[in-house]
């Protein structure tokens, strides 16, 4: 797994490298554009509001929403990626922070219409994911939604098949969502899973 320095080194070429993998339909980024477009379209179904992007990276997703008039907050543990995102979104509130520790203090009194997390939550263990989702739930407006797009699978058998097919390219340090397991640990709201590719999907948790 990359640390923050690794992500800093990757930052300038991140969007390009993801595109190469996505276009070839390979794990881990097969369906990447579909995931981001699906999240974007879901947010755009509602009027402009406050959006928090967990692991905002270079702002690939949220820059579109920023230009559409949404109020953007973002967290990322790579200072270089935050720097690139800030150029795209000069009026956004962006924080260099490790979200494995929860939310930064500056955001704890804010409620959001949407909380997004794309290709980031796999850095948390399954128990950490559940605890973090519980924390995020408390920061949603009454009709808010959490949208998680990532390498994700409907069932454990689908994850296992992908791991076998991916061979040595599989990253054992990353812990991916298995929807059939996750749904058992989310006792609130409405939760659904939309599969985008053989190794990616969007989890939506709605109030």
Q: What pLDDT digit, counting tens, does each position of 140-170 carry?
A: 999 999 999 999 999 999 999 999 999 999 9
The percent of residues above 90 in pLDDT, for the chain, comes to 81
Of 53-57, 77-81, 115-119, least confident by mean pLDDT is: 77-81
- Give the predicted TM-score (pTM) of the model: 0.89
Q: Which residues on neighbouring strands pair with residue 171, listed in sequence order?
A: none
What does the chain come to in residues? 207
Mean pLDDT of the 68-77 span: 96
What pLDDT score does 15 carry? Answer: 56
- Phi, psi values for residue 56, rounded to 5°: -70, -20
Cβ(94)–Cβ(86) below 8 Å: yes
Picking from 100, 90, 84, 102, the residue whose alpha carbon sits closest to that of residue 7 is 84
Q: Where do the domains of the chain lie?
A: 49-206
d(CA 130, CA 89): 30
User: What rounded mean pLDDT belongs to the chain?
Assistant: 90
CA distances from 164 to 21, 26, 159, 177 (A): 18, 13, 9, 17
Q: Domain 49-206: give its CATH superfamily.
A: Vaccinia Virus protein VP39 (3.40.50.150)
């Amino acid at each position: 797994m990359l640390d923050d320095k690794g992500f800093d080194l990757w930052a300038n070429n991140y969007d390009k490298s993801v595109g190469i993998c996505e276009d070839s339909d390979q794990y881990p980024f097969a369906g990447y554009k579909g995931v981001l477009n699906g999240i974007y379209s879901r947010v755009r179904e509602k009027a402009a509001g406050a959006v928090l992007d967990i692991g905002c990276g270079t702002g690939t997703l949220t820059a579109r929403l920023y230009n559409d008039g949404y109020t953007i907050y973002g967290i990322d543990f790579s200072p270089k990626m935050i720097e690139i995102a800030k150029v795209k979104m000069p009026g956004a509130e962006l924080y260099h922070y490790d979200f494995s520790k929860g939310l930064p203090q500056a955001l704890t009194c804010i409620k959001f219409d949407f909380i997004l997390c794309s290709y980031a939550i796999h850095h948390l263990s399954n128990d950490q994911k559940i605890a973090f989702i519980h924390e995020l739930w408390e920061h949603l407006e009454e009709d808010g939604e959490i949208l998680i797009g990532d390498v994700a699978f409907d069932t454990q058998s689908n994850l296992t098949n992908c791991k076998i097919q991916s061979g040595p390219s599989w990253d054992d340090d990353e812990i991916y969502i298995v929807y059939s397991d996750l749904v058992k640990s989310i006792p609130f709201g409405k939760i659904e899973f939309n599969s985008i590719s053989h190794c990616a999907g969007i989890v939506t948790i709605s109030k």
